[in-house]
Amino acid sequence: MTKFLSCTNMTGGYGGEDIIHSCDIEVDKSQIVVIVGPNGAGKSTAMKAMLGMISLKEGNLILDGSDISKLSPQDRVAAGIAFVPQTMNVFSELTVEENLEMGAFLRDDNIQETIGEIYNLFPAMKDKRNQLAGELSGGQRQQVAVSRALMTRPKVLMLDEPTAGVSPIVMKEIFERIITIKNSGVAIVIVEQNAKQALNIADFGYVLVGGENKFSGEGQELLKNQEVRKSFLGG
C-alpha cells in the first residue's frame, strides 16, 4: 500500500552532476516526515525535486494515486502541495492579510473561512493583519509564511528549515503549530538543521547522506539509533 505522497527513486540535480541518487521520501496524511542530514547532503534538493523545481532524470512521484512527476511547480501547487521556502518566504511589501489572499490566489471560493481558521491557529496575526509583513519580527514572519502556504488548503505542506534563525522559544512554538496542522489531516515534510528537536516531533525521519537514503525510521527510533546519534546529533 503506497503512502499518500510517494516519491521514489529520485535521481537528478541542477543540470550538472546528480546531487540526489535513488532517493526515496514518502509521507502519509496526518504524518510529519523530517529530512535531516549533514550540510550538502541534498536535503533541500530532494524537497525541490518533490516540488518540481528541478527536473529529475528518474523518479516516480505519486500524489494520492496519480502521477505528478510531469507537472510544473504551479500545477503541483494546484494539485495540493504547498511549500514554505527558507528565505524570502513572505511578500514583505504586502500586509499580512494580503499575504494570505495571495496564498489563496488559485482559489475561487470564499476564503474568509480559511483566514478565520488561520487566525485561530496564529492569534498574533489577527492583530497584525493590516501591517506590512516585512515589518514583523522573524518569528511572526515565519507564521505568515506558513499561513500563506496553508491558504491553498494543501494536502501536503513542505517546509524548508522553518526554524532557521529563530529563538528556541519561537522554535518550540512553530513546532507546536506544525503538530496542530498535522492533526487537521495534512501530510507534512520538513527539512531541518535542528535535527534533534525536529525528530522529536517527527512520525518518520529520513537521514540523507551524499544524496542517498542512509537511515530511515520512526523519529524516536532514529533518535535512539547510536550511529545516527554519533554522526549527526552530536552524541
Partner 1 sequence: MENFEFINAIVLLANFVLVPALSYGSQLALATLSLTIVYGVLRFSNFAQADWMSFGTMAAILFAWLFQSIGITAGIFPTALLALPFAIIVTALFCLLIDRSVYSFYRKQKSQPIVLMIVSVGVMFILQAIVRFIIGPNDRKFFDGEKYIIHALDFKNYFGLEEGLTIKSTQLITVIVALIAMISLFYFLQKTKLGKSMRAYSNNEDLALLSGINPEKIVIVTWIISSILITTAGVLYGLDKSFKPFTYFNLLLPMFAAAIVGGIGSPIGAVIGGYVIAFSEITLTYAYKKFFVYLMPEHLEPSGLMQVLSTDYKFAISFIILVIVLIVRPTGIVRGKII
Residue 91 as a binder of partner 1 (CB under 8 A): the answer is yes
Q: In residues, how long is the chain?
A: 235
Residue 90 as a binder of partner 1 (CB under 8 A): the answer is yes
Q: What share of the chain is helix, strand, coil (3-state, %, to 5)?
A: 40, 25, 35
Q: Candidates 31, 140, 143, 152: give the one binding partner 1 (CB under 8 A).
A: 152
By the 8 A CB rule, do 207 and 215 touch?
yes
157 or 222: CB nearest partner 1:
157
Residue 78 as a binder of partner 1 (CB under 8 A): the answer is yes
Q: Candidates 3, 48, 128, 148: give the one binding partner 1 (CB under 8 A).
A: 148
Q: Candidates 9, 102, 218, 220: give the one binding partner 1 (CB under 8 A).
A: 102
Residue 61 backbone phi and psi in degrees, to 5:
-120, 115
The residues with which 33 forms a beta bridge, in sequence order, are 189, 204
Binding residues with partner 1: total (CB under 8 A): 22
CA distance 81 to 96: 21
C-beta of 48: minimal distance to partner 1 in Å? Answer: 11
Q: Which stretch binds partner 1 (CB under 8 A): 62-70, 88-96, 164-172, 191-199?
A: 88-96
Q: Which stretch binds partner 1 (CB under 8 A): 34-42, 83-91, 194-202, 225-233?
A: 83-91
CA distance 188 to 156: 6
Residue 118 as a binder of partner 1 (CB under 8 A): the answer is no
Burial environment of residue 47 by CB neighbours within 10 A (0 to 12, 13 to 18, 19 or more): buried
Residue 52 as a binder of partner 1 (CB under 8 A): the answer is no
CA distance 212 to 24: 8
Binding residues for partner 1 (CB under 8 A): 73-74, 77-78, 82-83, 85, 88-94, 98, 101-103, 105-106, 148, 152
